[in-house]
Amino acid sequence: MENPPNQSTAHLPHYNVKAVANLVGIAPVTLRAWERRYGLPTPLRGSQGYRLYSDYDVRTLLWLKARTSEGLSISRAAEQLLHLRSTGADPAADEAPIQRREGAMLLAGMPAPNLTLHDSHGEPVELASIWGGSNIVICLMRHFGCIFCREWLHKLESCVPALRAANIIPIVVGLGDADHALPVASQLAPGALCLMSQGITAHQIYGIKRGSLLQLAGPSVISSVVRAARSGQMQGETTGDISMLSGVFAIDRTGMVRYSFYGSHAGDHPSPDTFVASVRSAFQATSPA
């Protein structure tokens, strides 16, 4: 990877090629072609050989894309960037947080949007007031009547002791009203803080989208129903927008996202076997030595 002299967390590799393609709006095949032809960028490889990009790599790609949008050929843009770097003027060295495209996924290294949600008494709660004192994991659920959300709440509760031991506060956010949500949340995940979102705005701000027919009723969803039922969960009362998917995000004390998971279908959620380790590792990777 092309690292300038001053090393920082901006050069830590954490994006896979799919995440980068979503972030910069460049197809994976084009990313690979630019790397092969021009050496820009040159991501590190993970233990399984997958490309892993850093914020610095993403800025490199954004700069190249901007130049091509202005009319330069990619070969000329790459030549210009390499020349600038040879003179010590590196436009990708900016340490400012990478900005998301509207509607794009929220990825590690990006600032987390501050949401105003509501507690069990209907009082407003700002997420920033919580992450200001502790690392947090926030699970944006579909609705608490959803059999898959109930399954995830049950599994999340098994992770709570390890999360709390690492000073990470688990938060679950459901669509609907507190009278419906709290009995379910308190039964299945009493160790997590339950907050409510009356509408889908919070989900949309975090890049979560409505599912397609395949994502809501396709083969993967049907098999997930069987899995959830075998774990003892049942479908409950439906509230809110039942077409929304779900997501899980780890946010540190500075308000930066360190881990994100987007459900690929209604029944998709992180594996509890690896979830805690992944979250703890993500926080540790950015902690000062």
- pLDDT tens for residues 217-244? 899 999 999 988 888 878 877 777 788 8
Q: Mean per-residue pLDDT for 97-118?
A: 78
13 has pLDDT over 70:
yes
- What is the band of 9 on the pLDDT scale with cuts at 50, 70, 90? low
**Whole-angstrom Cα distance, residue 97 to residue 246?**
25
**Whole-angstrom Cα distance, residue 276 to residue 164?**
10
60 has pLDDT over 90:
yes
- With respect to residue 201, please indicate whether it lies within any of the assigned structural domains: yes
259: CATH = 3.40.30.10
Instruction: Please tell me whether residues 80 and 150 are part of one structural domain.
Output: no
Residue type, 91: P
**Whole-angstrom Cα distance, residue 173 to residue 83?**
49
Percent of the chain with pLDDT over 90: 37
Instruction: Please tell me whether residues 166 and 59 are part of one structural domain.
Output: no
70: CATH = 1.10.1660.10
Query: Greater confidence, 105 or 1?
Result: 105
**Whole-angstrom Cα distance, residue 35 to residue 26?**
13
Task: Of 76-90, 177-191, 241-255, 272-286, give the lowest mean pLDDT range.
Answer: 177-191
Query: Greater confidence, 98 or 245?
Result: 245
**Whole-angstrom Cα distance, residue 132 to residue 153?**
24
133 has pLDDT over 80:
yes
Q: How far is CA 9 from CA 127, 249, 250, 258, 289, in A?
A: 24, 19, 17, 11, 12
**Whole-angstrom Cα distance, residue 267 to residue 254?**
31
Q: Mean per-residue pLDDT for 261-280?
A: 89
**Whole-angstrom Cα distance, residue 229 to residue 154?**
12
The answer to whether 135 and 167 have CB atoms below 8 angstroms apart is: yes
- Exposure on the CB side of residue 45, measured as CA atoms within 13 A: 6
Give me the pLDDT at residue 4, please. Answer: 42
- What is the band of 6 on the pLDDT scale with cuts at 50, 70, 90? very low
Q: How many domains does the chain have?
A: 2
Instruction: Please tell me whether residues 156 and 79 are part of one structural domain.
Output: no
Give me the pLDDT at residue 219, please. Answer: 92
For residue 169 the two structure tokens come to 């506060």
Domain that holds residue 77: 9-93
- What is the band of 17 on the pLDDT scale with cuts at 50, 70, 90? confident
- What is the band of 289 on the pLDDT scale with cuts at 50, 70, 90? very low
Instruction: Please tell me whether residues 141 and 229 are part of one structural domain.
Output: yes
- With respect to residue 245, please indicate whether it lies within any of the assigned structural domains: yes
Peptide bond into 124 cis (omega under 30): no
Instruction: Please tell me whether residues 89 and 138 are part of one structural domain.
Output: no
pLDDT tens string 199-214: 888 899 999 999 999 9
Q: Mean per-residue pLDDT for 165-177?
A: 89
**Whole-angstrom Cα distance, residue 146 to residue 234?**
8
181 has pLDDT over 80:
no
Instruction: Please tell me whether residues 73 and 185 are part of one structural domain.
Output: no
- With respect to residue 196, please indicate whether it lies within any of the assigned structural domains: yes
Average pLDDT taken over every residue of the chain = 85
- With respect to residue 145, please indicate whether it lies within any of the assigned structural domains: yes
Instruction: Please tell me whether residues 198 and 59 are part of one structural domain.
Output: no
Instruction: Please tell me whether residues 127 and 249 are part of one structural domain.
Output: yes
Instruction: Please tell me whether residues 47 and 181 are part of one structural domain.
Output: no
pLDDT tens string 77-103: 999 999 999 998 888 887 665 666 666
**Whole-angstrom Cα distance, residue 71 to residue 59?**
19
Instruction: Please tell me whether residues 225 and 277 are part of one structural domain.
Output: yes
